[in-house]
Structure 1
Amino acid sequence: MKKNWKERRKILLILFLWSLPWLSLGQEGRMKQHIDFDWRFHLGDVSEASLADFDDSDWRKVDVPHDWSIEQPFSKDNPGGNGFLPGGIGWYRKTLEWDKRWKGKEVLLNFDGVFMNSEVWINGNRLGKRPFGYISFGYDIASYLKPGKNKIAVRVDNSQIPSARWYSGSGIFRHVDLIITHPVHVARHGTFVRTPTVRSTEAMVAADLHLVNRLGKVTAAKVISNIRDKNGKVVARQENAIQLNVDSTQLTQQFTLNKPLLWSPETPHTYQLETDIQIGNKQVDHYTTVFGVRKLEFDATHGFRLNGKPTKFKGVCEHESMGGLGAAIPADALHRKLKILKEMGCNAIRVGHHPFPDEFYNMCDTMGFMVMDEIFDGWLHWPGFGKAKWDYGAYFQEWWAQDLEELVKRDRNHPSIVIWCQGNEVWGFDKHLDVQKAIYDLYHRLDPTRPTTQAWATHTYLDIVGFNANGEGKDDIARFHREHPNQVAIGTEFPHTRQTRGVYRTKTSYNPWDKPDKSGHEASAANVAKLYPIPDLSEEEVFPEYDARYASGYDNQTRKISVRDAWKLVRDNNFYIGQFRWTGFDYLGEAWGWPSRTNNYGVIDLAGFPKDDYYLYQSLWTDKPMIHLLPHWNHPNKAGIPIPVVAYTNGDAAELFLNGKSLGKQALNTDQLQLLWQVPYTPGRLEAVAYKNGQEIARDTVETTGDAKQLHLSANRTQLTANRRDVVFITIDVTDTQNRLVPDRSGDTVHFEIKGPYRLLGVENGDILDMSPQQVNWRKTFMGKALLMLQATDQPGLVEVKATAVGLTPATMKFTVKNKKR
């Protein structure tokens, strides 16, 4: 408990400092103003909206991050790739009141991401256009600002969908800042901190600084840099007197750290490089760079070593969307997502298939995730390369180098980032090796300290081979190693298994193109031969009642390979350094057909509720004693029918009891990686006891519940701050009279009566077939659960939530919203 609180307090402190409306350091130093609040928004195109004197008073007021697509109804007329949600054209406008501190300063208007085709104006002056919705960008607006009111206008065009192969969202869906600096300052993304030598006794640190001088003449300055440890203590210092050239000067400073605190997922220590620029006796800039000290080594013999320690990537792929929130994700929601993954034992994340918001990487630095940072889904334009019709490929040739440089310079100081990814499943890339080489070369010119990979690419211009489904067949990985014994490989998207929370099937299921099925799909004999055998759990299907569009909670529904066999490839081969399973969380989009919002590839559903495979990974990836039983034990009309009961544990044996009677103790087979009992169904209590070296280490229980009688509410916090950012996640459970979750109960429409200062962010239940609106005060339950998400306003007070459903006893809860500290 204390450890979790310390971790959260550290992250909240970072986010608090990040969220201060003004952060002013030094006598005339840098200021950062967050301008997320009180934008005006209009859905639809308005040709005059770029004009400074345009009247937007009747437009809706919104805060950013904002995603207008998730606010709209699902429709089968929209593409399934976009989750059956619309795109469109939207306008945003914001008024900036002149601040006297801007006079004589550089003022940068910085966007962390706008999806997509954004055009920006200030006081009617067009600043530019950025097609790529996932890249950050900034405009110098100082020369356009004037005393009085200043008007920012942003046009966002996501009208041609699908503009991605997944749900993208639409709008200013990340943060917006003003960065105010003296004419002499460290450039935007102007530092690159490297650690060329890392030992336990000392580390050499090199900082490349890009310094800007807009004074119009060569200027004498002093550059003073201090490195501070996690306690704020100065542990290294450098000072240089320098003549700053007009416009741009490069400077490298070198430091020695004694007994450095090394960064790793287990010990995510970070340092701060604080760079001050002085002219005469006046400090004109103060620039802080967070970095970590760690040593990365990759080779086929030893695999991946982090700080000299053999380490496997226990990773997941992640899309940016999050269920009912769409693509506009508050920091608290992102932290919740990462915390759930961390508790699963995940130590690595591949961003799919584009850059994520800056705060994601900050959290990975402090929470301890290794990141595969990816820039592009594809390279060239559709058709011919298998990507979305109106995606970034249409702009790739003109914009790729500028966007890649923005990504690398923004992200390269993050210790969490350990691998760059050049692209995802770039069909036909072998016919465009000149493009691959150009991307590879630019990565290594901008950052020679990290390797690159590419998903579904096994040769040529990359450092680490990446396997997606092309590595999931029997002998795929082994054959590659025989042919390329000195090549390091990684599962960039591996494996592809499917699950639905609370749904089970006892017959093994492969994807139709890999094996013939009853619907008439056929597969080649070669494909069938490559399937990893997953034995059926019964001769006849025990659970025929579930909708075929849902997937199985057992580890038996996949493309070619199970979770267990996929992990054994990582476990047993040094050259194969890890995997990023597809996916950690379910995500919106890439739906198979109406009505569905997504597929079921995640081990965590759209609401953030774990599925059974979550615990399978926990048994493979963690040392904290655990055991998990499946399925649940509510199976009416199945009396006497053998139910396959599976246990996942990181112990070495487990014993199963039914109503207190032992059904046998089994040793864990390290080849099978699960324990299985066939149990004729009898209502009651199933309990599993895990052992290690003969000693009990953990227990898990599932039991037959009574009928659904009441609702129960629980929240991840009971107190918020009136800062318009804090979020509370409220879980709704359908329970019996003993307050036990009824796991097979679905379809109860829960209505929410909410009083007090709050903003409704969204509702969710994890059901991929539920096409109900996402930002309303009701939600149907799915497998006994639903989720309500509320955000604080700028007003303190008491928030009261009442949940009601026909035939169930209501539930209430309260939480407080306190004044924001100044």
Structure 2
Amino acid sequence: MKQKVFANTENVCLNQIHPNPTPQSFILIEMKKIILFIGVYLALCQVVFSSEGRQVKSINFDWKFTLTNPQGASAKAFDDTKWRALDLPHDWSIEGEFKKENPSGTSGAFLPGGIGWYRKDITLEKIDPNTIYSIRFDGVYLNSDVWINGFHLGFHPNGYLGFEYDLTPYLIEGKNTIAVKVDHSKLPSGRWYTGSGIYRNVWWETKNRTYLLEEDLFITTPQVSTEKATVHLAASILNQKKRKAKIEVQINVLDKEGQLVSSTVKKYQFQKQQEIALDFEVENPNLWSPKSPSMYTMETIITHNGKEIDCYSTTFGIRKVEWKPNEGVFLNDEPILIKGLSNHQDAGPLGVAVPEDVLYRRLKMLKDMGCNALRTAHHPFAPEFYTMCDTMGFMVMDEAFDGWWNTKAKFDYGLHFEEYWKKDLETFIKRDRNHPSVVIWSVGNEVKGYTNEQQKLLVEEAKKWDTTRPVTQGRGYKGDHIDIAGFNGHGEFKNVLEKYNEDHPQKLIIGTEITHTLQTRGVYRTKTWYRTKDNPAPWEKPEHFKKLEPKIYKIEDLSEEEVFEGISPKYQSSYDNSIVRIGVRDDWNRVEQMDFYVGNFRWTGFDYLGESFNWPARTANFGIIDLAGFPKDHYYLYQSLWSDQPMVHLLPHWSHKGKEGVKIPVVVYTNCDEAELFLNGASLGRKPMNESRQIVWQVPYQKGELKVVAYTDDKIQASKTIKTAEEAYTTTLTTDKRVLQADRKDVLHCEVSVVDQNGVFVPNASNELQFKVTGGGHLIGIENGDILDMSSSKYDLNRKAFNGKCLLIIQSNGQKGNIKIEVEGEGLKSQQLIINTIVL
């Protein structure tokens, strides 16, 4: 009896299914009616498993852990009763203390590493001689060794790629003990925060000894039109039995509704391995795109003597991507610009152990902003990330490595590169190549001292496993062998991209890391800030600014004298005037004007841990969304450039005590034709949007209400109002869910905002807040977005509001009943909120 899971976000009214839609709620609530056993990740991955053949089970719960290195911990008989009990995924570094002396330093946000051990018992009542038993880790950072019943299974140095071990020869009936050693004692091991531990999902898999090799499965769509598409399948079936396999293979292609659109049955006889190559035709296909991310499922059923022995399915998309020199990118014969963001994988207060709900919320914010592409900087992400990108509609630049043979951090993967890179690159591409979201590979980023021959080796190796996508490299434009020229910071200077196009007219250019601007939520300066001049990076010198000044896209000051004095120089302005080499608006004008410049991946979407400028800072402010997941003003600037939905946004806030009569630059972002500004009901004029991509009024400050109205074709399309806040009085608690599943996995986000007695947000509030969560949930993260706040995001239950806000991340602890969230604050009226938990 096959168990099927189909999910697609297209044409689904999520609010009819669940009042606060998440990937769990919109898939699981419906699917649990027909699924006897399946985890959240299985639903997200839309994989089909056979109850008589292949079975996959999450084993994330109930591990034992110690952040020590006890002798003999790999032995089955070792006593781990005093170890800490926990669930996976788990990142122990984020649980540690921020210390200036921690060897991770600025790269790793001053958090600790160490050596940690995990152990778990699995009980097997019976071992089937016709079954293969294996364990799969989606990601362990770093340098892991795994044992089963004291037998060493292997060593894996790559912290970003999954790996699998065959357990079959070592299992016994009864209790079996898995032991994992994770050695992250040598730091820094990366140029950003990496985390430590078994930080992704772990799976227990069983399958028949004759089975489909999932890593060899490759689905391509060589011919695509709106009338008809050809779908090509290449696959392998492995027979580990001594006798010849005599099997029947049925392959079904199903649409997003689960309806059969194509099918074939083949019979095979073979001894060890059988290759399969088949073509299918799909009439009037639903083509995949960011606006319409339609998915199909290919189901492969293997039977022997009429009995099903394996069933494996994977989702895929039908789409055509063309990269045309001097014309741009065409998706399904339509031109499309890359509206992209680079991101690291951490989620602020959670480190790198990111629940699916948290990842989904982050991607949903980017989708709502108008983003259509993401770059995995600078390594493979978790498998569920790609499935969400498939079903939500993101194009992905999938990046394999940061550096190559030469280390960039003292103890990074470069130490193992020579031995492992070919196998890891093969694993990486085979893992992700069936995702329609993946449209381009990247084989490196800012690689130190690479040679043209080295680049050739990487590109040729990548193309052994996939020739359907182009290959690029972050800042790899000097090499001859990449298909698309990738530019990082150097491409932000004037005339660099134009000159490259003159010399290489047959190569498109993509901004693999463009542009770099900085903002701190709620902070404003009216004078333009240039990093090289005002706060140079370690490799920059202030005197270089005069030399670089002609190459920089300068931004005019918003006032002759600085309006907002006394702000820490470690914070950056939320006007679009804190830049490295080019601002957001100037760069997007370049994208729209140059056909050979197909778009970019801004650095970055979210603030991330690590790569800070110095103690005491956990990061720099490159993100357009802060560490807590609160948008900065740049979020709305990008929305005005990228989104088709009418919108308008104005800044700064309108609570400037002591500034009465001072002219405040009021900036408006909108994708409408023009906007009108009102102060306390009086119009301050109507202005058109132009190539500057912002509208500015100089408004003498007075308390009250500031309102903007946006028009297209003289019709109101959007409006926004902000008000002057009085003294802080209490907090408001807003959550993204009204109920939690009592499953130890479901997560909600609670936004805490300081408000005055009239409920008006207080944008400069910094009250000390105290939090308490009881009942069916527990706090897994607290964050305010302040890069200089070195409080523990796991254990400090007190946190200052930063510019009026703080975020609580709460996860179900498995108990049915109410969750009570209580917030008290210095000089504030206390608040509480009740959330129900349910069992499905």
Note the residue ranges of structure 2 that are not aligned, 5 or more in a row.
Answer: 1-10, 32-37
Alpha-carbon separation, structure 2, partners of 1:525 and 1:749? 44
Change (3 A) 1:809 1:589: same
CA distance in 2, matches of 1:180, 1:313: 41
> Pick from 293, 309, 324: which aligns with 1:299?
324
Of 632, 651, 665 in structure 1, the residue corresponding to residue 672 of structure 2 is: 651
Contact 2:127 2:173 in 1 (8 A): no
Q: Are the counterparts in 2 of residues 114 and 156 from structure 1 also a CA contact under 8 Å? A: yes
**CA deviation map 1:248-295 (0-9, x unaligned):** 221112100000000000000000000011111111000011100000
- Structure-2 separation of matches of 1:296 and 1:598: 36
What are the within-5 Å matches in structure 2 for residues 392-541 of structure 1? 392-429=413-450, 431=451, 433-458=452-477, 459-512=479-532, 521-523=542-544, 525-541=546-562
Residues 490, 550 of structure 1: alpha-carbon distance in 2 compared, 3 angstrom cutoff: same
Contact in 1 for aligned 2:387/2:435 (Cα 8 Å): yes
Which runs of 5 or more structure 1 residues have no equivalent in the other structure? none
* 1:591 aligned partner: 612
1:56-75 → structure 2 map (5 Å cutoff):
56-75=80-99
* Structure 1 counterpart of 2:698, from 678, 702, 706: 678
* Residues 514, 528 of structure 1: 8 Å contact kept: no
Letter in 2 for 1:357: A
Q: Deviations over 1:678-723 (max 9, x none)?
A: 1111111111111111111111112211110011111000101111
Indicate which of 63, 68, 88 corresponds to 1:44. Answer: 68
> Is 1:732 aligned to 2:736, yes or no?
no
Matches within 5 A, 1:232-243: 232-243=258-269
Which residue in the other structure is 1:632 paired with?
A: 653
| Pick aligned residue for 2:349 from 321, 324, 329 | 324
Match of 1:196 among 184, 208, 222: 222
Question: 2:535 & 2:819 partners in 1: Cα distance?
Answer: 53
Q: Which amino acid is the alignment partner of residue 317 of structure 1?
A: S
In the alignment, is the contact (CA less than 8 A) between 1:730 and 1:787 conserved in 2?
Answer: yes
Alignment of 1:171 onto 2:201? no
Alpha-carbon distance in structure 1 between the residues aligned to 2:372 and 2:546: 38
Match of 1:571 in 2: 592
Alignment match, 1:257? 282
Q: Does 1:759 align with 2:784?
A: no
Would the aligned equivalents of 1:11 and 1:366 in 2 still touch at CA under 8 Å?
Answer: no
> In the aligned structure 2, how far is the partner of 1:514 from the partner of 1:295?
46
TM-score, structure 1 as length reference: 0.96
The reply to whether residue 688 of structure 1 matches residue 708 of structure 2 is: yes
Q: Is the 8 A contact 2:724 2:760 kept in 1?
A: no
Range with greater deviation from structure 2 (658-667 or 753-762): 753-762
Seen in structure 2, the aligned counterparts of structure 1 residues 203 and 183 have a Cα distance that, compared at 3 Å, is same
Corresponding residue number in structure 2 for 1:159 = 185
What's the RMSD between the two structures over aligned residues?
A: 1.8
Local SS of the residue matching 1:407: helix
Structure 1 residue 211 corresponds to structure 2 residue 231? no
Residues 236 and 90 of structure 1, relative CA distance in 2, 3 Å threshold: same
CA distance in 2, matches of 1:289, 1:631: 48
Give the drift of 1:354.
0.5
8 A Cα contact 1:24 1:32, kept in partner = no
Counterpart-to-counterpart distance in 2, 1:379 and 1:20: 32
Residue 544 of structure 1, aligned match among 547, 559, 565: 565
Compute the displacement of 1:307 (Å): 0.4
Q: Is the 8 A contact 1:514 1:527 kept in 2?
A: no
- Contact 2:39 2:57 (8 Å CA) reproduced: no
8 Å CA contact 2:115, 2:184 repeated in 1: yes
- What is the DSSP-based 3-state SS (H/G/I as helix, E as strand, rest coil) of the residue aligned with 2:73? helix
Say whether residues 1:355 and 2:380 are aligned partners: yes
1:381–1:331 distance in 2 versus 1, CA, 3 Å: same
Letter in 1 for 2:612: A
Q: Distance in 2 between matches of 1:462 and 1:809?
A: 60
Q: Distance in 2 between matches of 1:712 and 1:650?
A: 31
* CA 1:516–1:12: 2 relative to 1, 3 Å: closer
Tell whether the 8 Å contact from 1:763 to 1:778 is kept in structure 2 after alignment.
no
Q: In 2, distance between residues paired with 1:6 and 1:207?
A: 37
Q: What pairs with 1:12-411 in structure 2 (closer than 5 Å)? A: 12=25, 14=27, 17-19=38-40, 25-26=49-50, 28-78=52-102, 79-100=105-126, 102-246=128-272, 248-382=273-407, 387-411=408-432
Aligned to 2:5: none
Aligned to 2:724: 704
1:193 match: secondary structure:
strand
Which amino acid in structure 2 is aligned with residue 453 of structure 1?
A: T
**Residues 1:718 and 2:738 aligned together:** yes
What amino acid maps onto 1:572 in structure 2? Q
Measure the CA separation in 1 of the matches of 2:116 and 2:230: 49
Deviation at 1:603, TM superposition (A): 0.3
Distance 2:810 2:116 in 1: 25
CA-to-aligned-CA distance 1:742-781 (integer Å, 9 cap, x gap):
00112x2211222212122110000000000111323211
Contact kept in structure 2, 1:19 and 1:34, CA below 8 Å: no
Shift of 1:794: 1.9
* Paired residue type of 1:308: D
Q: How does the TM-score come out when normalised to structure 2? A: 0.94
How far does residue 146 in structure 1 lie from its aligned partner after superposition? 0.5
Partner Cα separation in structure 2 for residue 20 and residue 71 of structure 1: 24
What is the count of residue pairs matched by the alignment?
810
**For 1:325-350, what per-residue CA distance to the aligned partner results, in whole angstroms no more than 9, with x for missing partners?**
01100000000000010111001000
Verify the 8 A CA contact 2:133 2:168 in the aligned structure 1.
yes
Residue number in structure 1 paired with 2:832 = 812
Alpha carbons 2:776, 2:817 under 8 Å: kept: yes
Question: How far, CA to CA, are the matches of 1:266 and 1:103 in structure 2?
Answer: 48
Q: Tell me the SS of whatever aligns to 2:454.
A: helix
- Give, in whole Å, the separation in 2 of the partners of 1:540 and 1:675: 20
Partner Cα separation in structure 1 for residue 577 and residue 745 of structure 2: 41
Give CA deviations for 1:609-638 in whole Å, capped at 9, x if unaligned.
Answer: 000000000000011111100000111111
Contact preservation (8 Å) 1:117, 1:156: yes
Which one-letter code corresponds to 2:549 in the other structure? V
Partners in 1 of 2:738 and 2:533 — Cα distance? 49
How far apart are 1:72 and its partner, in Å?
Answer: 0.7
Instruction: Please report how far the alpha carbon of residue 21 of structure 1 lies from its aligned counterpart in structure 2 after TM superposition.
Output: 9.2
Matched to 1:318, the amino acid is: N
Cα distance in 2, alignment partners of residues 49 and 415 from structure 1:
43
Q: Contact conserved, 2:191 with 2:611, CA < 8 A, in 1?
A: yes
Q: CA deviation at 1:241?
A: 0.9
State the partner residue of 2:625: 604
Pairwise CA distance, 1:14: 4.8
Q: Is the 8 A contact 1:295 1:307 kept in 2?
A: yes
Offset from partner CA, 1:159-200 (integer Å, 9 cap, x none) = 111100000000000000011100000114231000010011
Distance 1:415 1:99 in 2: 41
Identity over aligned residues, as a percent?
A: 46
How many angstroms apart in 2 are the aligned matches of 1:189 and 1:570?
37
Give, in whole Å, the separation in 1 of the partners of 2:98 and 2:534.
31
Q: Distance in 1 between matches of 2:41 and 2:751?
A: 30
